[in-house]
């Protein structure tokens, strides 16, 4: 079960205008707080970022389309992933993403809440973004 979530503006490490999805800390004091993208983004925005979690050795990013089918995954020790140049966004999709943080010493894992974003611009008319 995911922790309660708050959508807050600009935590440390965010640039002005970015938002973050921040869960309440779990019993171990670990949170996986997502930084960007959230909401509406520009087509050239290819960076997906989150805040570091103490004691975590690696992160797994999952990016899904509107029907929650994974379309991109990556495992990294860093707190960001840049989508490859060949990755094509669609104006008619909402995208969902989350990060799972792993602590190797005892195989513990924590999953972030899901963040939702879509591209700015003219495209097929879509309903407003759902509330987190």
Give the pLDDT score at 36: 95
Kindly state whether residue 126 falls inside one of the protein's structural domains.
Answer: no
Per residue, the 3-state secondary structure of the chain, as one string, reads CCCCEEEEECCCCCCCCCEEEEECCCCCCCCCCEEECCEEECCCCCEEEECCCCCCCEEEEEEECCCCCEEEEEEECCCEEECCCCCCCCCCCCEEEEEEEEECCCCEEEECCCEEEEECCCCCCCCCCCCC
- Please list, residue by residue across 21-42, b when 16 or more beta carbons sit within 10 angstroms of its beta carbon and e when fewer do: bbbeeeeeebbbbbbbbbbebe
Kindly state whether residue 129 falls inside one of the protein's structural domains.
Answer: no
pLDDT for residue 82 is more than 60: yes
Lowest mean pLDDT among 35-49, 76-90, 114-128: 114-128
Q: pLDDT class for 47, splitting at 50, 70, 90?
A: very high
Domains in the chain, number: 1
Residue-range definition of the domain harbouring residue 75: 5-119
pTM of the model: 0.74
Kindly state whether residue 36 falls inside one of the protein's structural domains.
Answer: yes
Q: What is the CATH number of the domain that holds 27?
A: 2.60.40.10
Kindly state whether residue 132 falls inside one of the protein's structural domains.
Answer: no
Kindly state whether residue 73 falls inside one of the protein's structural domains.
Answer: yes
Kindly state whether residue 131 falls inside one of the protein's structural domains.
Answer: no
DSSP bridge partners of 68:
none
Kindly state whether residue 47 falls inside one of the protein's structural domains.
Answer: yes
Kindly state whether residue 72 falls inside one of the protein's structural domains.
Answer: yes
Q: pLDDT class for 43, splitting at 50, 70, 90?
A: confident
Residues 95-100, mean pLDDT to the nearest whole number: 96
CA dist 13 and 88 (Å) reads 26
């Amino acid at each position: 079960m995911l922790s309660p979530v708050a959508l807050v503006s600009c935590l440390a490490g965010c640039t002005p205008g970015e938002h973050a999805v921040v869960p309440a800390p779990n019993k171990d004091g670990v949170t996986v707080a997502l930084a960007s993208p959230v909401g509406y983004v520009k087509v050239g925005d290819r960076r997906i970022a989150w805040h570091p979690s103490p004691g975590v050795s690696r992160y797994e990013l999952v990016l899904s389309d509107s029907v929650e089918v994974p379309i991109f995954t990556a495992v990294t020790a860093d707190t960001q992933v840049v989508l490859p140049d060949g990755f094509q966004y669609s104006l008619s999709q909402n995208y969902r993403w989350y990060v799972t943080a792993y602590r190797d010493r005892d195989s513990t894992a924590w999953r972030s809440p899901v963040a939702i974003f879509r591209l700015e611009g003219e495209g097929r008319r879509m309903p407003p973004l759902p509330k987190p």
